[in-house]
Amino acid sequence: MLRYASRPLSSLKKTQARWFAAAATQSPDGIQQGVAFSQLLKRTPEEAFRTPELVGMSAMNSETKKMNLFQAVNDAMAIALATDDTAVVFGEDVAFGGVFRATSGLVEKFGRERVFNTPLTEQGIAGFAVGMASVGHTAIAEIQFADYIFPAFDQIVNEAAKYRYRSGNQFNVGGMTIRSPCSAVGHGGQYHSQSPEAFFAHCPGVKVVTPRSPIQAKGLLLASIRDRNPVVFFEPKILYRAAVEEVPVEDYELPLGKAEVLKKGTDVTVVGYGSQMYVLENAIQLAEKKMPGLSCELIDLRTILPWDAETVIESVNKTGRLVVAHEAPKTSGVGAEVAATVLENCFLRLEAPIQRVCGWDTPFPLVYEKFYMPSMIRCFDAIKTAVNY
């Protein structure tokens, strides 16, 4: 009897003890939050092939496999290595499978000449990738955490991004792709949670891409690898295990530079990317519950540079209202670029000021993470403000 009585206490201790662990939670309004309950994920093969971009594929091969995000990334790299003799994968700790298991099994399949560890040097990894790509190879480099990409900033911005331009198109490093885990994970603090996409969004010559799900990750990564421009591919690390879908086993690509409308609506346009899509999904569920009749349109940018302004402008011309959300700090974040462009193009159509829901302008804090993040309730509040203006 005593043991049963103590159970509620012990579960309370568990919740308190595990404040740092990401988990699906119930919110006061009955919204089932979290990736596990998301309807954005395609959990059956039929759902997977229903997307317009993949519908043509099922005719050839409709086989899918249940994969999480790191498995989808792994699959994309395996296909790249198998279809391109010049392709190599390298970075810190990639040989044993990588700290997030994204490269597991690749050495066994393709050998140590093509999948190899480098010494601990991000600037070296990026420079090495530039060098390989400059003689026509496909270099897939991993930067272990996006927080550590800054030593590589010079090689990416001053070299990779300008390689084609400064050579008058005699050379290019189109074969270069840098992939890196990014964004909040619940306990990462300053140096394991950053979303540095805005630094690169400001750099002409480079492309910046970020997937929200396994199907997206595989298709976008293959497209990034094969794109004839250097690409920085940010993978939200919290989704590595949490996001699971039925992913087509075939070799397929998804288009870069094209946003995706995930939910059509008429009253407000809600824009985000990466792991933020699930927060926005919940915020919209809450908003449509609290304000019956409200219809929100949800857009995933997918490519941050060059970004699909056309799709977002078309949407705001329909709805008249815009909410943009991202984990990265508000000032000069990607939301600022989206807001300015939409304002320029939709000025007379706008019914309310553009809302940005972002991380506060602070370094990423540890114990204050839940206050820092652009959470469901903050996004809901922004939707409400835009709609009630």
Partner 1 sequence: MDKIMYEAQRQGRFSFYMTHFGEEALLGVVAALQPKDVIHGQYREAFGLLYRGFTVEECMDQCFANVADGGKGRQMPVHYTSSKHYFQSISSPLATQIPQAAGSAYALKMRIPTQYHANDSERNCSVCFFGEGAASEGDFHAGMNLAATLKCPVVFVCRNNGYAISTPASEQYNGDGIASRGVGYGMDTIRIDGNDMWAAYNATKTARKIAVEENKPVLIEAMTYRVGHHSTSDDSTKYRDRKEVERHQQFENPITRVCNYMMNQGFWTQAEDDQYKQEVRDHVMSSFKNSQKKKKPPVKELFTDVYDTLPPNLVQQEKELERLITTYPEYFDFLDEHEKS
- List contacts with partner 1 (CB under 8 A): 85-86, 88, 113, 116, 118-119, 121, 123-124, 126-137, 139, 151, 154-155, 158-159, 162-172, 174, 204-205, 207, 228-229, 257, 306, 309-310
Residue 298 backbone zone (phi > 0: left; psi -120 to 50: alpha; other: beta): beta
Q: Is 314 a catalytic residue?
A: no
326 flagged as catalytic: no
Q: Which is nearer to partner 1, 341 or 385 (CB)?
A: 341
CA distances from 290 to 40, 140, 280, 293, 323 (A): 21, 46, 15, 9, 17
Closest to partner 1 by CB, 86 vs 385, is 86
Which residue(s) pair with 177 in the sheet?
140, 231
Q: Cis omega (within 30 of 0) on the bond before 292?
A: no
Contact 278, 37 (CB under 8 A): no
Strands 87-91 and 115-117: parallel
Q: What residue type is 122 in one-letter code?
A: E
- One-letter amino acid at 65 equals K
Considering beta carbons, is residue 88 or 209 the nearer one to partner 1?
88
Contact at 8 Å (CB) between 253 and 223? yes
Distance (Å) of CA 206 to CA 131, 292, 339:
16, 43, 21
Least Å distance, CB 96 to partner 1, is 16
Report d(CA 219, CA 68) in Å as an integer.
Answer: 14
CB of 57 to partner 1, least distance (A): 25
- Please classify residue 161 by burial: count the beta carbons closer than 10 Å to its beta carbon, then call 0-12 exposed, 13-18 middle and 19+ buried: buried
In the complex, minimum distance from the CB of residue 139 to partner 1, in angstroms, rounded to a whole number: 7
Least CB distance to partner 1 at residue 236 (A): 24
C-alpha–C-alpha distance, residues 200 and 335, integer Å: 14
Q: How far apart are CA 156 and CA 35, in angstroms?
A: 32
Closer Cβ to partner 1, 149 or 387, answer by number: 149
Q: Give least dist CB 386 to partner 1, A.
A: 25
Taking the least distance from each CB to partner 1, the nearer of 75 and 197 is: 197
- Give the residue ranges of DSSP H helices in the chain: 2-17, 45-50, 69-83, 106-110, 122-134, 153-154, 163-166, 197-201, 214-226, 239-242, 276-290, 309-319, 334-346, 369-372, 376-388
Closest separation in Å from C-beta 74 to partner 1:
22
- The HSE-up count of residue 192 (CA atoms within 13 Å, CB side) is 10
Q: In the bound complex, what is the minimum distance in angstroms from residue 181's beta carbon to partner 1?
A: 21
Residue with Cβ nearer partner 1 (46 or 85): 85
Choice among 159, 192, 297, 369 that is catalytic: 192
Please say which residue, 261 or 309, places its beta carbon nearer to partner 1: 309
Q: Are strands 296-300 and 260-263 parallel, antiparallel or unpaired?
A: antiparallel
Catalytic residue among 122, 142, 159, 327: 122
Question: Residues with catalytic annotation?
Answer: 122, 192
